[in-house]
Amino acid sequence: MDAVILSRIQFGLTAGFHFIFPPLTLGLTLVVVILETIYFRNNNDLYKKISNFMIKVLGLVFVMGVATGIVLEFSFGTNWSNYSRMVGDIFGAPLAAEGVFAFFMESVFLGILVFGRNRVSRGVFLLSAFLVFIASHLSGLWIIIANSWMQTPAGFAIEGGRAVLKDFFAAAFNDSTLIRYLHTVMGGWITGSLFTAGIGSWYLLKNRDLDSAKPLLTIALWIYVAMAILQFGSGHGHSVQVAKTQPAKMAAFEALWKGQNGAPMSVIGIPDPSRKKTHLEIAVPKLLSIAIYFDPEARVQGLDDFKEEELPSVVLSYLTYHGMIGLGSLFALLAVISAILMISRKLFEARWFLWVLISAVPLPFIANELGWMAAEFGRQPWAVYKVLKTAEAASVVVPAWQILVSIIAFSAIYCLLFAVFLKILFSIISKGPDKITIGYVGE
């Protein structure tokens, strides 16, 4: 296999594994901020206990994100050195800014959360929780800025074959930055809240730690209910942006073989590129035109409007995009049931639904991955949309065998880490809030 394909596999593997953790971190920092705020206001030690427990979990998840994130910071140089030369004038700045404006803050104040409970005042501790929350979200913002610039580049000019920055704010806040950020953060909050609700549900089913489980489940599930429903709005906004700024990607998402007026929205089907047709398709007539342009007769560009060599893989784009939307719809359904059960005060007795919640915990992780894959597959064959092709972005001096070796090593290491991560996570959960302690040794 050639080095470009191998580097793509390696980036997909390392970024995909990394992306398990940051969305969860976003959601967990929100839960911790809420718990700490309640504790600060009512001074009820129950909330301190629950929060300590969640900080322990957050610390573990954060460490996994750090360990796997370092790789990505360097991977542009190691595997994508042409990319780094061509667009480093723009792309490097957000990565550096993430360190300066976000990651330092997140690391330092998480250190205070995990170790400093008895060393700082209650006010400083609450402030630290807020700063960790803000910093983790700022960290996400800078990474989304970098990624969005690859999708909808702006604020630059090509000079001497390189992209050169002309307007920092135009580059940073390009067409897709804010909506992608909103969509990704809400995905993180869904992930973290359902994860937390799953923990609470498990204690209820096991009839243990009930004092902690009930508030934990209630707080987490209300976040989940709100986000799972609002996510439809951000998802819609994001799709409209894609359709308007990356029409080839939207055509691939929908497997819209022909550009047409009154375009249908595909609900389910199996796209077949060789026959340019979608098998067993269920589609809603005119809905795509309505969704994008609010006009049932508006023309939507199809795959036939673009050059063959500038199209992404329709199969991968369609399946990942529709997989994400399918899961999103399931989340909304679960949210409605959750809300009904909470309002009617039957949630804690609805054992079947608590099992459903636990089983659903992995699904937002999958939805995050599918959404990310849809965004990246759909951008192909470009690394930077209409600026630099992926095939031209890779390092030229790294031999394929070395990349293969590193892929094998990353796979082995990540499998080991993930197994240990799960084991530790389950052991923290099975110890429970009553037995988990945080803080400086000897206190």
Q: Which parts of 378-417 interact with another protein (CB under 8 A)? A: 395-398, 402-403, 405-406, 409, 413, 417
Site for another protein in 111-140 (CB under 8 A): 111-112, 114-116, 119-120
Distance of closest approach, residue 80 Cβ to another protein, in angstroms: 8
Residue 249 Cβ vs another protein, minimum distance, rounded to whole Å: 27
**Minimum gap (Å) between residue 161 Cβ and another protein:** 12
Closest to another protein by CB, 81 vs 260, is 81
Name the residue nearer to another protein (CB basis): 260 or 402.
402
DSSP codes of every residue in 5-60: HHHHHHHHHHHHHHTTHHHHHHHHHHHHHHHHHHHHHH--HHHHHHHHHHHHHHHH
Binding of residue 273 to another protein (CB under 8 A): no
Using the rule CB under 8 A, is 30 a contact of another protein?
Answer: no
Task: Please report how the helices 210-245 and 314-343 are oriented relative to each other, as an axis angle in degrees rounded to 10.
Answer: 140
Angle between helices 45-78 and 210-245 (to 10 degrees): 30
Whether the CB-CB separation of 35 and 200 falls below 8 Å is answered with: no
Stretch 301-340: interaction string toward another protein, x if CB under 8 A: ----------------------------------------
* Residue 127 beta carbon to another protein: minimum distance, rounded to whole angstroms: 11
Say whether residue 73 binds another protein (CB under 8 A).
Answer: yes
| Residues between 147 and 206 that touch another protein (CB under 8 A) | 164-166, 168
The position carrying tokens 């065998």 is 401
Number of H helices, E strands in the chain: 15, 8
- Cα(17)–Cα(20) distance, integer angstroms: 6
Query: 104-115 and 122-151 are packed helices; what angle lies between their axes, rounded to 10 degrees?
Result: 150
Q: Which is nearer to another protein, 1 or 397 (CB)?
A: 397
Among positions 5, 9, 46, 66, the unique one binding another protein when judged by CB under 8 A? 66
Instruction: Count other C-beta atoms under 10 Å from residue 342's C-beta.
Output: 17
For residue 176, the minimal CB distance to another protein (Å) is 21
Q: Does 32 bind another protein (CB under 8 A)?
A: no
Q: Binding mask 422-441 vs another protein (x if CB under 8 A, - otherwise)? A: -xx--xx-----------xx
Count residues binding another protein (CB under 8 A): 71
Is the CB of residue 246 less than 8 Å from the CB of residue 385?
yes
Q: Closest CB to another protein among 287 and 391?
A: 391
Among 59, 237, 259, 323, binds another protein (CB under 8 A): 59
Contacts of 164 (CB under 8 A, 6+ apart): 89, 90, 156, 157, 158
CA dihedral 54, 55, 56, 57 (to 10 degrees): 50
Q: CA–CA separation, 173 vs 57, rounded Å?
A: 33
Q: Give the footprint of another protein on residues 84-113 (CB under 8 A).
A: 84-85, 88-93, 95-101, 103-105, 107-112
> Which are the contacts of 182, defined by CB distance < 8 A and separation ≥ 6?
234, 237, 238
Q: Which is nearer to another protein, 298 or 436 (CB)?
A: 436
Could you tell me the smallest distance in angstroms from the CB atom of residue 21 to another protein?
Answer: 11
* Distance set, CA 162 to CA 86, 165, 389 (Å): 5, 10, 13
Question: Contacting another protein (CB under 8 A), which of 123, 274, 280, 442?
Answer: 442
